Structure 1
Amino acid sequence: MRMNRKHLFPTHLLYADDILIFYKATMQNARAIRDIFLYYGVISGQDCSREKSQLFFAKGILLCYQRQISRALGFSVKKLPTVYLGVPLFAGSPRAVHLAAIKDKIINKFSRWKGMQLSMAGRLCLVKSIIQSSLVHTMMIYKWPGSLIKDLDKACRNFIWSGDINKKPSFMVSWDRVCGIKEERGLGVRSFDMINEAFLMKLAWNVIKGKKFGYDILHSRYLDEFGRSRETLLASLVWGWIKQLVLELIADSYCLLGSGSSVYFWDDDWLGYSIANKIGIPTFLPSRLKHTMIWALWSARNKCHFDGIYLLGRAVLAFIKSSFVEVDSSSTKMGHISNISSDYMVARRIGVTVRIRPPPNLDSVYWSPSAYSWLKANTDGSAVGAPGQINVGGVFCD
């Protein structure tokens, strides 16, 4: 994983015994990857299968470069669309032609079942346990075209009522009622449109959270620090159809503060923007210096509100600068900076004069064993409260 223009970008992905490698299409990189494979084979005794390995090039790569890289690695060149682990991979938005093969497999399953000889309860069980679960992987990734969704719902509806997907029976209950939950007198069947939207909503929520691998890549590329959509032209096969779902989830979500341990009053997005940015705190400041400046402004506000002391702009600025005083790192007093070079550089950048103290003198302490015929005693104690519980201990060495 590496950073590219402040965005996460994977260099490789591992799944079971498969590996996906992403690299710039140059002969230098191709030779380096070939040497890595050869070295790995010498060390481990395993060799990659060149017959099963394939190369996919982005648009704009000249055909002569593709042939050179293919010969250097010994891999064949393949183009999209293709299928990996049962999921079709293609460029652009999903169309009916990309997913039609999956729909046809589902339709063929119906034809192999003798639905006319099964009871309605048996047909319902097949639809819920086999048909709807077969499309989980692709519906978790792609927004299915409406025409395919309509064909699948029609096949399930006809199979449940008559046992034949090509026979349209007279329906006693509407399909929307059948797709309701059992508590609402439905049969617990889910329409494929509802399943697809539910999975994409979960995908959009994981992108907003950005805590799992893969989702953090989309989060860093398409969302800002507050979870809002970036104005970007970066292309993505997934982001195009979950963008609207992300915006809907953000608009309908709220935050539970809980203990407040992960809440930052000045930096969090409370009003569509952070309060620190609203009052003009420089964004280049580290968080500790930013909080120091905010503390100084807050103190100036309290002087005005409670003590009746009105500070003009220059006085407030002088008050802020006076708060940046160099102290020991062990100090817990607010309004100070730490003894590190980055804080000094930022302080000078905003016009603060920094006093750098000389380093303390260090005295060396050595331990030596006790002399012959002497007994050494090392003791220590601690107390909780005054008065309070006391514990003492000691070690005696000869």
Structure 2
Amino acid sequence: MFCRGDTQSVVLLLRAFKTFSNASGLCMNQGKSSMYSNGVAESTMAALTRLSGMKRGTIPFHYLGVSITPKRLGVNDCQGLIDKVMARIRGIGARKLSYAGRLVLIQSVLHNLHNYWAIIFILPKIVLQHIDRLCRKFLWHGNELKDSPALVAWEYVCKPTRKRGLGLKCLYWWNIAAVAKYAWWIAKKTDHLWVRWIHAVYMKDKDWEVYEPGQGASWAWKKICWVKNLIKPFLFSGGFGDYSIKLGYSWLVDEGPDKAWHPWVTNKLMVPKHGFILWLMAHRRLLTQDRLMRMGVIQSNCCYLCGLDAESVEHLFFQCIYSKKCLALMSEWLNVDIPEQQALDWWVKYRNRSLLIKKTVAAAVAALIYAIWRCRNQSRMEGYLLTPGTVFKNCKSEIRMRLRCNRVGSVVRGVQIWRERICM
């Protein structure tokens, strides 16, 4: 609660608390309450604390988990946020999780810790970079300590899935989109007490589109005005209804047309860990023998599956004799022609086929690529290799389970018969 730093205002505030207590039965806990001041004489503050029975607090302080300070928010003020992110990473036991599992935890847990702060303040850029760095280490290495190079640059990971990314938020732009809602409230003169206060203290009937803050304005107000100028073409275009953070973020990070193969890795029929390996394969970022040889880690780039040619992404998944046998078995089972080279182009080539068939084939190819990559690693580390028939049988069981567990809407009779045959 805010009031002027004089006796009359404090008495009226305490009287309001008393009236509320009599009406609701809820009482203020004076042991947990503090009084803060700025620009009030020491003698006056001493009298006010005796009058209210509250202890005197010092600024900055923490309220509902965030730092309250009249000065520019600094790194030390956000240390609590960084500590919470690090504590969650340490407590998750991430080394037992797949890449896809860690990705889900970043989206649902770690980024949500940031969201709570980001909708209130423009956070320092160094703090956002630190959180990004923690999330990057967690995704690729399972902890916050290891700092070896990542398989894919973080800027690509944070792109939308339709732009060949993984759909993680860029914390910097999401923070701006979150604070932009205050600029939208002011532009629309939304019926909020805070908006009325802004118009009474700062705006004073000025045009918000061309308004610039004065030298004596607070740092928080200057940041809101800076965000307003950043999104001005979007804010005053009038081409949208109610503002949402998702809408503002999409406008800020728009990066051109969608990519052709993005439906392959955003498929609900696909097992998430299969989709992640497929995404790495599509970006040519799996640590195949040819890449390891270029890095100087190994001296030979011979394929671990066939032992005949140099191991690359194209050879390992589409040209190797072992992989061709797996693809042929999968193609025969699905009764769909899957090209042995550039299998990701199948989605574009057969764009007129039923969506259910395309999603099922995408999930099957992802499962097969994951299984081939796992067999390759077993051959390298443990020295044994499953037969193509066993690999296909395992993939078929997973696809059948996914089809049975996912509800399918109305489809034409031919597609329904095809699905029933696959699920048998």
Place the TM-score, normalised by the shorter chain, in its bin: 0.5 to 0.7
2:213–2:225 Cα contact (<8 Å) kept: no
String of CA shifts for 1:362-383, please: whole Å, max 9, x gaps.
xxxxxxxxxxxxxxxxxxxxxx
Report SS of the residue matched to 2:231: helix
Report SS of the residue matched to 1:245: helix
State the Cα distance separating 1:135 from its structure 2 match.
1.4
Q: Which residue of 2 aligns with 1:25?
A: 5
From 129, 135, 143, the equivalent of 1:164 is 143
Q: Which residue of 1 aligns with 2:105?
A: 126
Q: Which residue of 1 aligns with 2:188?
A: 209
In structure 2, C-alpha distance between the alignment counterparts of 1:222 and 1:248, rounded to whole Å: 19
2:94–2:102 Cα contact (<8 Å) kept: yes
Q: Which residue of 2 aligns with 1:240?
A: 222
Q: Which residue of 2 aligns with 1:87?
A: 66
1:87–1:138 Cα contact (<8 Å) kept: yes
Q: Give the TM-score, by structure 2 length.
A: 0.51
1:229–1:247 Cα contact (<8 Å) kept: no
Gaps of 5+ in 1: 1-19, 259-398
1:161–1:171 Cα contact (<8 Å) kept: yes
1:222–1:230 Cα contact (<8 Å) kept: no
Q: 1:73 to 1:209 in 2, by over 3 A?
A: same
Larger radius of gyration: 1
In structure 2, C-alpha distance between the alignment counterparts of 1:231 and 1:254, rounded to whole Å: 19
1:106–1:131 Cα contact (<8 Å) kept: yes
In structure 2, C-alpha distance between the alignment counterparts of 1:231 and 1:164, rounded to whole Å: 43
Amino acid aligned to 2:34 = Q
Q: 1:33 to 1:243 in 2, by over 3 A?
A: closer
In structure 2, C-alpha distance between the alignment counterparts of 1:38 and 1:119, rounded to whole Å: 56
Structure 2 counterparts to residues 135-214 of structure 1, below 5 A: 135-213=114-192, 214=194
1:140–1:196 Cα contact (<8 Å) kept: yes
Higher strand share: 1
Q: Give the TM-score, by structure 1 length.
A: 0.54
In structure 2, C-alpha distance between the alignment counterparts of 1:25 and 1:122, rounded to whole Å: 52
State the Cα distance separating 1:183 from its structure 2 match.
1.1
In structure 1, C-alpha distance between the alignment counterparts of 2:184 and 2:26, rounded to whole Å: 40
Same amino acid, percent of matched pairs: 23
1:205–1:249 Cα contact (<8 Å) kept: no
1:204–1:242 Cα contact (<8 Å) kept: yes
Q: How many residues align?
A: 237
From 198, 216, 220, the equivalent of 1:218 is 198
Q: 1:215 to 1:182 in 2, by over 3 A?
A: same
Amino acid aligned to 2:60 = P
1:88–1:98 Cα contact (<8 Å) kept: yes
1:96–1:147 Cα contact (<8 Å) kept: yes
Structure number with higher relative contact order (C-alpha < 8 Å, ≥ 6 residues apart): 2
String of CA shifts for 1:35-85, please: whole Å, max 9, x gaps.
4444555566553322222211112x1111111111111111112111112
In structure 1, C-alpha distance between the alignment counterparts of 2:52 and 2:235, rounded to whole Å: 49
In structure 1, C-alpha distance between the alignment counterparts of 2:92 and 2:197, rounded to whole Å: 43
For the aligned residues, what is the CA RMSD? Answer: 2.5
In structure 2, C-alpha distance between the alignment counterparts of 1:40 and 1:173, rounded to whole Å: 57
String of CA shifts for 1:296-340, please: whole Å, max 9, x gaps.
xxxxxxxxxxxxxxxxxxxxxxxxxxxxxxxxxxxxxxxxxxxxx
Q: Which residue of 2 aligns with 1:68?
A: 47
Q: 1:155 to 1:47 in 2, by over 3 A?
A: closer
Amino acid aligned to 1:56 = Y
Higher helix share: 2
State the Cα distance separating 1:254 from its structure 2 match.
4.3
String of CA shifts for 1:255-283, please: whole Å, max 9, x gaps.
5599xxxxxxxxxxxxxxxxxxxxxxxxx
Gaps of 5+ in 2: 241-424
